[in-house]
Amino acid sequence: MRDTLRHLAAGAAHLALSAGLLWMGHSLAQAQPHGTAAAAGTVATQAAPPTTATTASAAALYREHCASCHGAQRTGGMGPALLPESLARLRRPEALKVIQEGRAATQMAGFAGTLAPADIAALTDWIYQPVTPTPAWSDADVRASRVETAGARDLPGRPAWKADPMNLFVVVEGGDHHVSLVDGDRFEVIHRFASRYALHGGPKFTPDGRFVFFGSRDGWITKYDLWNLTVVAEVRAGLNMRNVAVSGDGRWVMAANYLPRTVVLFDADLHFVQRYDATTLDGKEASRVSAVYDAAPRKSFVVALKDIPEVWEISYDPKAPPIYDGLVHDYKMGESIAKPGYHGVRRTPLDEPLDDFFFDQDYRHVLGSTRPKTGAADGAPTAQVVNLDVRRKIAELPIAGMPHLGSGITFVWNGTTVLASPNLKDGAIDVIDMKNWKTVKTIATPGPGFFMRSHEATRYAWADSMMSPTAKDTLTLIDKATLTPVATLREPGRTLAHTEFTKDGRYALVSVWETDGAIIVFDAQTLQEVKRLPMSKPVGKYNVWNKITRSEGTSH
């Protein structure tokens, strides 16, 4: 009976794939730069709370009209979660509009004909207030949420479609919450399927390219068989999740949560293995978890914490050395009690938290930035280099503005390896020598951008200016040999962003980041448009080969 109920619940949850009140996660085209968006979200959630009478009225309205889909504690059900953490990227006027008008092609009906304008305004304000008491999501909840598709383990070990599986693109369409699989040779859609609501953090692949893992803002992890075009299993890791990572050996999956404040480890079949509370060693302070990354050369996961000044490394190497927390004069003499290194937390203390990461190619160094703190006197972001072997900061990064290191790239220049990072605040690309951590050049662009991409086989680095209200329609192409802009591509009046290359680097696929958008295929040498595929807000596209080989020109 319990299994039957679980499968019924899973079926109901799948109805949420096309339902919803808000667009969040990857919808960065309508968001402010990261720091501004975070500040805006903070202002929204810290605005003056409604009066007691209004609160009671809004709560009653929610119970009557919303709870059946979004959950009694607003943690989600048939519809997505309506928590402040989930609403951070959605402005209140947009939320109010959705409540009024509904959302096309979903189960979200408009209430303009049912509720008075004052009621809709009160309901909108109320969903931005924290839930009291704070919703919990226990280990038992995680385990109970897991569902598996019957027969998925017995599916053939070869693609059911005819194309190069290593040159496949996984395209996340945020406009109607679907995923398209695109043949990277013929540039045709092989398959399109509904996804969980508001996928976030980018899909992650197993080493053979067969399986892809998606993470949704609402905490769901979906394992999808690309070769057989079916969901294999799903589990809910938390109530508000940032991203997932897959180990380099394909055996482990880890999820980073804002709510609850945890990191959760699963095996590759999404069975719960272990929960890590994101706290200081003494347990007195807790943190939201910004992200988790796979450091394959180190056989470990690296965890970014938003609120406490530490970086975590969690090894999945059975031979990992023991962990000694605190100061030890000589660990060989057994002066401190060691903790197991395998699946243990190795902490690197810092002066301040880091919430945006980049790694060098061997994952020895973490390059991180700290967003400006709300209300801070200087309000200036910082960037630094942390050595994971010696477990301390070794350099400051000379980057002004608001660097988006997570979308940086590396490439060889003049006999050294350089990092090129976009900037969320300024129209500039900073190029840093990764041997001495000094600035090589700052390259001007038409406006602040979010993504930068390249490929080993192409001479250009492609940078967008999507955070600029006047230049969001422009891509700047930078010659990697001379570090100078040599061309621009435009889609007038529309948002042009997120470049990804075919596995051989011959073609570049770019998103027209609009609801009635498209994927534009460009010849990476001639810069001529080759083809255009209509898409509904294609927020990101990911080439299987480039991702599993960790191409220096794509995000990791």
- Do strands 392-396 and 365-370 pair parallel, antiparallel, or not at all (unpaired)? unpaired
Query: Cis omega before residue 260 (within 30°)?
Result: yes
Note whether residue 17 is domain-resident. no
How much is the average pLDDT of 428-436? 94
Q: Are residues 115 and 141 in the same domain?
A: no
Residue in 152, 150, 69, 64 with CA at minimum distance from that of residue 103: 69
Contacts of 523 (CB under 8 A, 6+ apart): 506, 507, 530
Cβ–Cβ < 8 Å for 465, 437: no
Q: Are residues 239 and 103 in the same domain?
A: no
Q: Which of the listed residues 352, 387, 418 is the one where a domain comes to its end?
A: 352
The answer to which of 92-101, 215-224, 357-366, 468-477 has the lowest mean pLDDT is 92-101
Distance from C-alpha of 430 to C-alpha of 453, rounded to nearest angstrom: 14
Q: Are residues 97 and 117 in the same domain?
A: yes
CATH number of domain containing 105: 1.10.760.10
Q: Are residues 277 and 297 in the same domain?
A: yes
Place of tokens 């978890």: 289
Q: Are residues 195 and 92 in the same domain?
A: no
Distance from C-alpha of 11 to C-alpha of 29, rounded to nearest angstrom: 32
Residue in 269, 262, 225 with CA at minimum distance from that of residue 246: 269
Global confidence as pTM: 0.84
Tell me what pLDDT residue 379 has.
Answer: 55
How much is the average pLDDT of 319-329? 78
Quote the Cα angle for 403-408-412, to 5°: 125
Note whether residue 216 is domain-resident. yes
372 has pLDDT over 80: no
**What six digits make up the tokens of 267?**
């095996």
Q: Are residues 117 and 249 in the same domain?
A: no
How much is the average pLDDT of 7-35? 35
Q: Are residues 199 and 257 in the same domain?
A: yes
Note whether residue 399 is domain-resident. no
Tell me what pLDDT residue 91 has.
Answer: 82
Note whether residue 215 is domain-resident. yes
pLDDT digits (tens, 9 = 90+) for 80-93: 888 887 777 678 88
Nearest-10 crossing angle of helices 117-127, 52-65: 90
Higher pLDDT, 454 or 556: 454
When pLDDT is cut at 50, 70 and 90, the band that residue 469 belongs to is very high
Q: Are residues 274 and 246 in the same domain?
A: yes
Q: Are residues 204 and 292 in the same domain?
A: yes
Tell me what pLDDT residue 70 has.
Answer: 87
DSSP secondary structure, 206-265, as one string:
-TTSSEEEEEBTTSEEEEEETTTTEEEEEEE--SEEEEEEE-TTSSEEEEEEEESSEEEE
How much is the average pLDDT of 229-239? 97
Query: Cis omega before residue 318 (within 30°)?
Result: no
Residue in 530, 518, 451, 463 with CA at minimum distance from that of residue 491: 518
Q: Are residues 64 and 199 in the same domain?
A: no
What range defines the domain where residue 111 resides? 58-128
Distance from C-alpha of 161 to C-alpha of 179, rounded to nearest angstrom: 16
Note whether residue 1 is domain-resident. no
Q: Are residues 93 and 218 in the same domain?
A: no
18 has pLDDT over 50: no
pLDDT digits (tens, 9 = 90+) for 29-80: 333 333 333 332 333 333 445 455 566 688 888 888 888 888 888 888 777 8
Note whether residue 214 is domain-resident. yes
* Bridge partners, residue 523, by sequence: 507
Residue 154 dihedral angles phi and psi, to the nearest 5°: -100, 10
Number of domains in the chain: 2
CATH number of domain containing 233: 2.140.10.20
Tell me what pLDDT residue 43 has.
Answer: 31
When pLDDT is cut at 50, 70 and 90, the band that residue 13 belongs to is very low
Q: Which of the listed residues 128, 145, 174 is the one where a domain comes to its end?
A: 128
How much is the average pLDDT of 409-436? 93
Distance from C-alpha of 38 to C-alpha of 88, rounded to nearest angstrom: 7
Note whether residue 222 is domain-resident. yes
Q: What percent of the chain has pLDDT over 70?
A: 85
Distance from C-alpha of 79 to C-alpha of 12, rounded to nearest angstrom: 9
Contacts of 481 (CB under 8 A, 6+ apart): 413, 459
Q: Are residues 93 and 146 in the same domain?
A: no
Distance from C-alpha of 279 to C-alpha of 262, rounded to nearest angstrom: 9
pLDDT digits (tens, 9 = 90+) for 103-150: 776 678 888 888 888 888 888 888 888 888 888 999 999 999 999 999
Note whether residue 363 is domain-resident. no
pLDDT digits (tens, 9 = 90+) for 246-277: 999 999 999 999 999 999 999 999 999 999 99
Burial class (CB in 10 A: 0-12, 13-18, 19+), 157: exposed
